[in-house]
Amino acid sequence: MDTKTKMDRFFEPRSVAVIGASRHPKKIGHVIFRNFLEGKYNGRLFPINPNAETLFGIECHASVLDVKEAVDMAVITVPSEFVPETLEECGKKNVPAVIIISSGFREIGKIALENKLKAIAKKYGLRVIGTNCIGVYDPYSGVDTFFLPPYKLERPDKGSIAFISQSGALGSVVLDWMSMKDYTISKFISYGNATDVDESDLMEYLVTDDKTRVICAYFEGVNNGRKLFNIASRHSKTKPIIAIKGGVTSEGISAVSSHTGSLAGESDIYSAAFRQSGIIEAKTLEQVFDFARVLSTQPAPKGNKVQIITNGGGFGILTTDWIVKNQLKLARMTKKNRDVVRKACPSYASIKNPIDLTGDATVDRYAVAIQAALDDPNVDMIALITLFQIPTLTAEIVDVISEAARKSKKPIVVIAAGGRFTEVLKKSLEGNGVPCFSYPEKAAEALRALYEYGRAAGK
């Protein structure tokens, strides 16, 4: 079995053995097995527990070697001292993909114990994710190796953004947050100590994944810097890669070594390597997903000229400032298209950049202004400010913006700040592939990232 096929088994296994599947509701093995059983996974399940006859009515086996059928993936949750023997049994069983959730290895100084696992994996040709991780979540196949129950940590729905995280805790919080915001995901992988499969292997795999349009990653340290650099250099122009580096201060670097046992390295070296290899560096977790939402939904612009359309003068001014601060330019629409907008607006509207449709703007005014900007050769991107609170603007604006974005070959982002009513409409727009922001600076930063990626990739 080749490496690609083995990696496939982490995400689309036909059968899964949970080794350490427990009858105790608070045990990790119990929660993981239950998530598979009660979730969307439709393959065969094998609980491995030598001290139980059945679990949820399913026959338990004392060892994975006792399973008569083939096992595509094993999830190991037993204490660290038993992991080498368990992994050896997986090798003898020809299990191609193994996720080791168990901790207590390199991150606490037990390097020899972890090296023993590396030797076993190499001996049998296993691909191993972990140790010290929460593993894989794939909403398409239903694979869910988290030991965090869904009622405490919600899972995002199917989408096109993949997320790799060296930290399981950070990744799990991000997923919960994504679910609350109705952001979607293609795959999530927590790889922990990178005993075998590392960030470079995962990145190379995700580049070939048809369901993934953008790859996001949280790194603490990198297992093989040259390998990552080469893979990113080859593929970053094909598929955007966004990364955030943990451990950028001396104190943070010290904390990294006690978390996943990684060597963090200097942040400026990472930043330089990211730039040279085409990886887009984010400075905050929120920025990771601001960039990802735009890069996964919007076409690359031909240039850096932005047309602002607003119904609030103050927001238009702030957006103007942030567009300029991000080295983008204000578009200058042709007189022909400005006249089209002017005819649809009252005399007190400002038909410049920003186009201010004023506080009594209607859906029709927005429709005319958006179309004029899309038709204008001097406009590369549109920053659309919609303050939904005004009484003249109905919820129909969501359909107008969504339809324009669907047909557009130019990127459109929406800036809308407000409370519950605003958030409901923003979620509808996000569901239709229109990225929304509460603050102008976030939108401007995302448009800059989109422009720079398109320019670097030659799109």
**Tokens describing residue 156:** 């995002």
What is the average pLDDT across 311-325? 97
Side-chain half-sphere exposure of 338, counting CA atoms within 13 A: 16
Residue 280 or 247, more confident: 280
**CATH number for region 299-457:** 3.40.50.261
pLDDT for 251 equals: 52
Same fold, 1-136 and 153-297: yes
Domain locations along the chain = 1-136, 153-297, 299-457
Side-chain half-sphere exposure of 322, counting CA atoms within 13 A: 19
Query: How many degrees, rounded to 5, is the angle at CA 382 between CA 380 and CA 388?
Result: 175
* Cα distance between residue 159 and residue 28, in whole Å: 27
pLDDT(266) > 80 = no
Residue 272, judged by CB atoms within 10 A of its CB (0-12, 13-18, 19+), counts as exposed
pLDDT for 247 equals: 66
Question: What's this model's pTM, rounded to 2 decimal places?
Answer: 0.92
What is the average pLDDT across 175-191? 94
What is the average pLDDT across 306-331? 97
pLDDT for 267 equals: 76
pLDDT for 252 equals: 46
Indicate the SS3 state at residue 453.
Answer: helix
- How confident is the model over 418-438, as pLDDT tens digits? 999 999 999 999 999 999 999
pLDDT(179) > 50 = yes
Cβ pair 94, 9 in contact under 8 A: no
What is the helix (H) or strand (E) element at residue 202, kind and residue range?
helix 199-207
Alpha-carbon torsion 307, 313, 317, 322, what sign?
A: negative
How does 147-179 read in b/e, with b if 16+ C-beta sit within 10 Å?
bbeeeebebbeebbbbbbbbbbebbbebbbebb
Checking DSSP bridges between strand 436-437 and strand 412-415, what pairing results, if any?
parallel
pLDDT(203) > 50 = yes
Weakest-pLDDT range from 85-89, 166-170, 258-262, 431-435: 258-262
**CATH number for region 153-297:** 3.40.50.261
- How confident is the model over 114-132, as pLDDT tens digits? 999 999 999 999 999 999 9
What is the average pLDDT across 166-195? 93
What is the SS3 assignment for 63-130? CHHHCCCCCCEEEECCCHHHHHHHHHHHHHCCCCEEEECCCCCHHHCCHHHHHHHHHHHHHHCCEEEE
**Which of 211, 268, 200 lies closest to 235 in space, CA to CA?**
200
User: Given the structure tokens 């045990």, which residue do they identify?
Assistant: 27
Band (439; pLDDT cuts 50, 70, 90): very high
pLDDT(201) > 80 = yes
pLDDT(220) > 90 = no
Cβ pair 99, 74 in contact under 8 A: yes
Cα 434 from chain centre: 17
Residue 40, judged by CB atoms within 10 A of its CB (0-12, 13-18, 19+), counts as middle
Looking at CATH, the fold of the domain delimited by 1-136 is given as Rossmann fold (3.40.50)
Strand-pair partners of 15: 44
- How confident is the model over 232-253, as pLDDT tens digits? 999 999 999 999 998 655 554 4
**Helix ranges (DSSP H) in 345-457:** 363-375, 397-407, 420-431, 440-457
